[in-house]
Structure 1
Amino acid sequence: MPEIWTHEVPMRWGDLDILNHVTNVVYLDYAAEAQAVRRRDGHQIDHRPVREVTVTYLRPTALSRRPLLVRSSLDGDELTQEICTTSHDEPAVHARVVTTYGAPAMPLIPSLDGHAVAASVRVSDLDATGAVSLIGQFRVAQEARVLHVGTQMERGVLGQVVVGTISLQPVAPLAWRPEPYEAHSWISRVGTGSFTINTLVGDPSAPVLVTRTTLVGFDSATQTARPFTDPERRIVLDHLR
């Protein structure tokens, strides 16, 4: 039987992005808070390293005075955490964080074209061991992905997109250093209203981490997904590898 527990997490103004929704990486903060409380209460979650973390965003979360509810379930080597609001009788799931434990695996890396961007690590990204935390790794990869899209793709053509899912594979410890790491991004899948962009931090021959992010076309007026226009899809296809 899986171990199941719940924990309430209060929200902060700083959790929001420019759309007044909870920022992508903040959901990991909520999940980590619930894990920390579990450990404080004397429960071991898993002693093995993290093999992969996947965050699936199901619906936007706006700021509320009500705390969010984190429902956690540990089943074998997989920890599933649902981030929920509780304004109704049945909690509504807004995001799902799945952490898989085990030995790191080397991801498949295509031949890259050399368009690297700088990925900087800050001291605030470090955890108690002195290595960059999982949350810090997500932030570093996200900054590199946004910089790649902003400099390598025609933002005047590509309309608004939001993150649907992010998966992170840690390969080696990410350490703090004054000089930035190099980061490469490439598009691995293109659909009618979404595409998947991968980001590698470190040397391509010896990556430190790799993320896989699905970006979805978004209509802010209706707060719903939308299909890409023909010019948008052509731009994205030009970067498919």
Structure 2
Amino acid sequence: MRHTYECPMRWADLDLLGHVNNVVYVDYLQEARVDMIRTHAPASRPEGGDLAEGVVVVRHEVTYLAPLTFRFRPVRIECWVTEVRAASFTMGYEVFDEDGDGRRTTYLRATTVLTPYVFATERPRRLSADERATLSQFLDPIERRPREPLAPPPAERRAHYPLHVRFSDVDAYGHVNNVKYFEYFQEARIQLLSGLREGLPEDDGALEVVVAQTDVDYRMPILFREEPYDVWSHVARVGSRSFTVESEIRDGDTLLSRARVALVHFDPRQGRSTEPSAEYRDRLTRTS
């Protein structure tokens, strides 16, 4: 069984290209996941119990397939469970539209690994029998793509971004919400790319990029404080029309999160991928 959630869109969800921003999709997925758990919760836990709120995200894998533009009708999100383990479960998602003939346009596919968490003691816990029964209703395994481990960026080629946590980033448990990590990595990535673009003509095909894939590993919670955290980023791979940026968030020597983001050079006038100039590809290559 799969659960379908109709997610309303907001004008503020769009990026400069008029597409739903890559960070906003993760917010949509969170809304769909909570709606599924609350809608199908057992009678003994009508609000979904601890699975609706008392979980932490361990990993996100998000694949962006087609641009989604603003409209007044909601977009549909199908979600289900792909795996249930003793102390974690994995969710699968598709963000899509479907026409009257049943033809589907899929904008995004994703998976999220979650673990139940006791926030009072800051420790994960095992799933209860009721929780396993609830999740098993939606069990529909999918083939997972091979996971590539994220490596720390090389010290000599990494760019630094001071991360200031805003009070509004923090949830009721005092942790930065998992969606905000995507925003932090985006901010650091924009600063890195802005430096690489300095002096290039505005009509260079490299100036517009779209996100094709984002993988985020969550290691330790980020908490609100006045002092900034450190985000270190570097270009890890350069292709003919795409490149990959890897980043990590640290508190001194303590690793908090890592991300790998695949980006594609994009021509908004043609609505398709493009090759960057030789000069810009050379800049990317020198930093990889």
Aligned residue in 1 for 2:220: 172
Structure 1 CA distance for aligned equivalents of residues 236 and 13 of structure 2: 30
Give the structure 1 partner of residue 249 of structure 2: 201
**8 Å contact 1:46–1:101 — kept in the other structure?**
no
Which residue, out of 251, 261, 276, partners 1:213?
Answer: 261
Aligned to 2:190: 146
Q: Any stretches of 5+ residues in structure 1 without a counterpart? A: none
Distance, in Å, in 2 between the alignment partners of 1:213 and 1:189 is: 10
C-alpha separation between the residues in 1 aligned to 2:7 and 2:98? 12
Cα 1:115–1:217 change in 2 (3 A) is closer
TM-score normalised to the size of structure 1? 0.89
Aligned Cα root-mean-square deviation (Å):
2.2
Deviations 1:58-104 (A, max 9, x none): 1111111121000112111431111112455323111122112469x
One-letter amino acid of the structure 1 residue matched with residue 63 of structure 2: T
Distance 1:176 1:53, change over 3 A: same
Q: Is the contact between residue 7 and residue 76 of structure 2 (CA under 8 Å) also seen in structure 1?
A: yes
Distance in 2 between residues matched to 1:45 and 1:97, nearest whole Å: 19
Q: In 2, are the aligned partners of 1:4 and 1:72 still within 8 Å (CA)? A: yes
Alignment of 1:102-117 (within 5 A): 107-113=150-156, 115-117=159-161
Contact 1:6 1:69 in 2 (8 A): yes
Distance, in Å, in 1 between the alignment partners of 2:280 and 2:254 is: 33
Structural mapping, 1:4-83, within 5 Å? 4-41=2-39, 42=41, 44=51, 49-76=56-83, 77-83=89-95
Superposition deviation, residue 124 in structure 1:
1.4
**Overall identity of the aligned pairs, in %:** 29
Counterpart code for 1:9: C
**2:159–2:234 contact (8 Å) kept in structure 1:** no
Question: Which of the pair has more CA radius of gyration?
Answer: 2
Contact 1:164-1:215 within 8 A present in 2 as well: yes
Aligned length: 235
* Counterpart residue type for residue 152 of structure 2: I
Counterparts of 1:23 and 1:190, CA distance in 2: 23
CA deviation profile, 1:156-181 (whole Å, cap 9, x unmatched)? 43432111111111111011112221
Partners of 1:46 and 1:174 lie apart in 2 by: 17
Q: Runs of 4+ in structure 1 displaced over 2 angstroms?
A: 43-51, 85-91, 100-103, 154-159
Q: Quick check: 1:160–1:217 contact (8 Å CA) kept in 2?
A: yes
For 1:172-191, list aligned pairs within 5 A: 172-191=220-239
